Structure formats: structure tokens, C-alpha cells
Amino acid sequence: MKPARRLFLTSLGVGMLPAWLAGCGFQLRQTNDFAFKTLYANFSTTSPLGVELRRNLLGSGRIDLWTEPKLMLKADAILDILSEERQQVAVGVSATGQVRELQLRLRVRFRLRTPQGLELIEPVELFQQRDLSFTETAALSKEIEQAILYRDMQTDIVQQIMRRLSAVKPYNAVPPSQTTAPAAALQPVAPAAALPKPAAKP
């Protein structure tokens, strides 16, 4: 086959690929959209979870992520990571009492709120677990595998947080001073004695 003809067929096949993917129902991952433009990160941006979460938020290209405490009250929303817990639980032992299988667990609790105290996402816990076979003769390789599994669970939880953030509906933030109407704007209710009496029937 001539090089020119091969190049033409290759280009044609690549050009038809997106149409074929769309026809079979496959969709490429789209950039998340959010109901807020500025987000205050009320969590450590240097922890493994914080680093990945920060990278995903900034990578969306739709959010300005603020970390300065003085900017917290000016942000559209505040993301609180309330807790992060990593556990290793022995779920399998040998006849001699040696651990043969571990269960790795990762729990993360978070919430999303406005600076005025309105909870856009109430405190929720996300949970992931993975099973890991264990042997003392391969302790180093198992330690590496454990780190990989924790990173996999962390990535899954970060993606869940991103999906929940993008599901928040647009809202109108109300400053605390306007949560109640001024006294002058309230209409007093007339007492019962002042109400007109119904006309007597003939």
C-alpha cells in the first residue's frame, strides 16, 4: 500500500472515531460546572487527599480556590473536610496466628456551606475499602501495594466529592443582616376586636 493511501485511510479512521463513539452511546468526560465561582478550602492542601482535591478543583477551570483565611467570608462557598480516617483491619489469619489478609479502609467526612451558614451539602461520610493479601516474606512489595490501594481509594473519594459539588444547584446568598426584615417593613396583624363584624342576617 502506498504511503499516501495509508495516511489517507488512517486520517479517515481517526476522523470517524468520535462519530462512532457518539453513536454507541459513549461520552467523553466533560468538565464539571458549578453553582459557585469562588471556593474557600477549609482543609489541608498539603495532605495527600488535599493535594489531589486541590488539583481536581483547579483543573476544572471553573473555580477560584482560596486558602487565605482573610478571604473565607468573601467566598461563594466553603468546603470543609471534617475528618479523614485510614484503617488497617486484619480479616484473615493463619493457623499460627499470622496475618494473611488485611482490609484497608478510608473514611472522609465533608460538607459545603456558605459564609452565612447555609449548608449546601450537609455533613456526609464517604467510605472505600480494599482487601490486601499479606505475607511477611514480601513485606516491602505489600507496603507498596498498600500505598497504591490507598491512593486508588482516595482518587475515588475525590471524584465523588467533585460530583457532589457539581450537583449543587444555584442559590442566592443572603447576608446575615438581611435574614430578617426590618421592623418598619413588617405589617402588623389587626387584633380580633378591630376586625369588622359580619352583617346580621335578616
pLDDT the model gives residue 30: 46
Tell me the average pLDDT across 79-104. Answer: 84
For the full predicted model, state whether its pTM sits above 0.85: no
Task: Kindly indicate the confidence band of residue 153, based on its pLDDT and cuts at 50, 70 and 90.
Answer: very high
Q: What is the pLDDT of residue 52?
A: 97
Q: Report pLDDT for 66.
A: 96
By percentage, how much of the chain surpasses pLDDT 70? 64
Mean local confidence (pLDDT), 177-190: 39
- Structure-model confidence comparison of residues 113 and 19, the more confident one: 113
- Where is pLDDT greater, at 118 or 24? 118
Low-confidence winner among 6-15, 75-84, 101-110 (lowest mean pLDDT): 6-15
3-state secondary structure the chain: CCHHHHHHHHHHHHHHHHHHHHHCCCCCCCCCCCCCCEEEEECCCCCHHHHHHHHHHHHCCCCEEECCHHHHHHCCEEEEEEEEEEEEEEEEECCCCCEEEEEEEEEEEEEEECCCCCEEEEEEEEEEEEEEECCHHHHHHHHHHHHHHHHHHHHHHHHHHHHHHHCCCCCCCCCHHHCCCCHHHCCCCCCHHHCCCCCCCC
Band of the pLDDT at 94, cuts 50, 70, 90? low
